[in-house]
Amino acid sequence: MKSRSWSAKTASTVESMVVEMSAQHPAYDALPADLQSKIFEVFEHQGQVGMRCNAADQRTLLEHFRLSQNYDFLVDVTAIDHLGKDAPERFEVVYMLRALQSNHSFFRLHVWLDERLASLPSVFDLWDSARWGERETHDMFGIVFDGNPDLRRFLMPEDFPGFPLLKDYPLKGRDERRQFPKVVARGDRMVEEEPDPYPTSIGRQMHTPDYIEEVRRDSKPRE
Amino acid sequence: MGLESLIGGEGFLTTTVNGLVNWGRKNALWPMPFGTACCAIEMMATFSGRYDISRFGAEVVRFSPRQSDLLIVSGRISLKMMPVLQKIYRQMPEPKWVISMGACASCGGVFDTYTLIQGVDQFIPVDVYVPGCPPRPESLLDAVFEIQELVGEDRFDSGKHGS
């Protein structure tokens, strides 16, 4: 099934989609009726089934897949930032599941998450591997997983201030790279000094607009 | 000057204390490898038999900074790794020298992102830079020769960086 237009959020659209989908996908038919109404969309890519739902229904659906459909392995939790895109919400949190004890099938649950809310219930009691997946997603996107006992920084340094995978976070950071003192030996002692100004590496010079213009001019084919 | 005929067959030679100490130091550098990326592979090749850094007396690789006097920073240094590198540098006894090997350690290379240090020389002193991505083992050997020249210029009784 091809993905649909993002305006599928309104109730009437969802209902019409539900009718259409139930005739098409066995994974959707396998859901109990009360859960079927919580699914916006079912899609399949290379044999992997995915569904979209709202943040409010995330916990209910995941409990169903864990306890009733034997998805016993949470491969990863991650998120997508749709800032500036035509999407129903800013964040899309993705749970990747696998059924290792039965038929080894894959399943993905995509959860739309409001930017102002930016929090979801934790599922670490369903899968232990959610502890680290949620911790990494929190580290990179700032999404809070309520109930997760350990949401410390995962990949970034513990005192890092930002959430670097947000689309509005600058690629080169907010000057966190220059927070260290310079360590210098003076005689037999080590002292700390102000760090050097930006190194005189060519890398910095190369990206100025003048330089890029110069390269473009020089790289034109000659007559 | 006739001095050699006076000391005859006893096998003496004349030098200065400074020259003797530096001769020993520069031909017995003990590297501390700080390999974090692909440059470390080239560094390992330099240590191995084909390029054989031990021909120049620098083969005793100690993974303890407290027994080393040459820090080879080979690879990307991230925001989280920089305090570790500084701590290791602090633990090395004087006199000590630092080689910044490859583009990433020297200037960040192509990784101009929030998490990568744009040149370790901002935060620790660097004596010799090795260009390349990654540099050939010959380049690293050349850097060791440069270090040996630097060692030869030192006063043995002062800290390397003066006071």
d(CA A154, CA A169): 18
This model of the complex carries an ipTM of 0.71
| A101 inside domain | yes
* Predicted confidence (pLDDT) per residue in B50-97, tens digit: 999 999 988 888 889 999 989 999 999 999 999 999 999 988 888 889
Q: Which two tokens stand for residue B1?
A: 């000057």
Residue B129 at interface with chain A, using a CB cutoff of 8 Å:
no
- CATH assignment, B30-153: 3.40.50.12280
Contact B104, B131 (CB under 8 A): no
Residue A88: phi and psi, rounded to 5, are -60, -40
| A115 inside domain | yes
Q: Which two tokens stand for residue A220?
A: 């034109």
Contact A111, A128 (CB under 8 A): no
Q: How big is the A-B interface in CB pairs under 8 Å?
A: 91
Q: What global pTM score does this model have?
A: 0.78
| A210 inside domain | no
Please give the full DSSP string across B61-119, using - where no structure is assigned.
Answer: --SSGGG-SEEEEES--BTTTHHHHHHHHHHSPSS-EEEEEHHHHHH-TT--STTB-S-
Which residues lie below 8 Å from residue B47, measured CB to CB, with a gap of 6+?
B33, B53, B54, B59, B61
Tally the domains of chain A: 1
Residue B100 at interface with chain A, using a CB cutoff of 8 Å:
no
The domain ranges of chain B are 30-153
Contact B106, B98 (CB under 8 A): no
Alpha helical stretches, state H, chain A: 11-22, 26-29, 33-36, 58-67, 130-141, 202-206, 209-218
Q: Which two tokens stand for residue B142?
A: 């050349």
CB contact under 8 A, B122 and A162: no
CB atoms within 10 A of CB B118: 23
> In chain B, whose CA is at the least distance from the CA of A200?
B107
**Domain interval for residue A149:** 11-169
Amino acid letter for position A70? N
Residue A209 at interface with chain B, using a CB cutoff of 8 Å:
no
| A193 inside domain | no
Contact A69, A97 (CB under 8 A): no
Q: Which helix (H) or strand (E) segment is A192 a member of?
A: strand A189-193
CB contact under 8 A, A170 and B114: yes
User: Chain A interface, mutation test: which of B76, B100, B111, B112, most A Cβ atoms within 10 Å?
Assistant: B112
DSSP label at B49?
T
Q: How long a stretch of residues is chain A?
A: 223
CB contact under 8 A, B107 and A157: no
223 residues of chain A, pLDDT tens digit each: 444 333 344 444 455 455 455 456 788 888 888 888 888 888 888 888 899 999 999 999 999 999 998 899 999 999 999 998 888 889 999 999 999 988 888 999 999 999 888 889 999 999 999 999 999 999 999 999 999 888 888 998 888 888 999 998 888 888 788 778 888 877 667 788 877 665 444 444 555 667 667 766 766 665 5
| A126 inside domain | yes
* Predicted confidence (pLDDT) per residue in A15-69, tens digit: 545 545 545 678 888 888 888 888 888 888 888 889 999 999 999 999 999 999 8
Closest CA of chain B from A121, distance in Å = 29
| A161 inside domain | yes
Residue B65 at interface with chain A, using a CB cutoff of 8 Å:
no
Closest CA of chain B from A65, distance in Å = 37
Residue B76 at interface with chain A, using a CB cutoff of 8 Å:
no
| A207 inside domain | no
Contact A137, A153 (CB under 8 A): no
d(CA B156, CA B24): 11
| A86 inside domain | yes
* Nearest neighbour of B107 by CB, restricted to A169, A186, A203: A203
Domain CATH number, residue A156: 3.30.460.80
Chain B residues lying within 8 Å of A183, measured CB to CB: 86, 89-90, 123-125
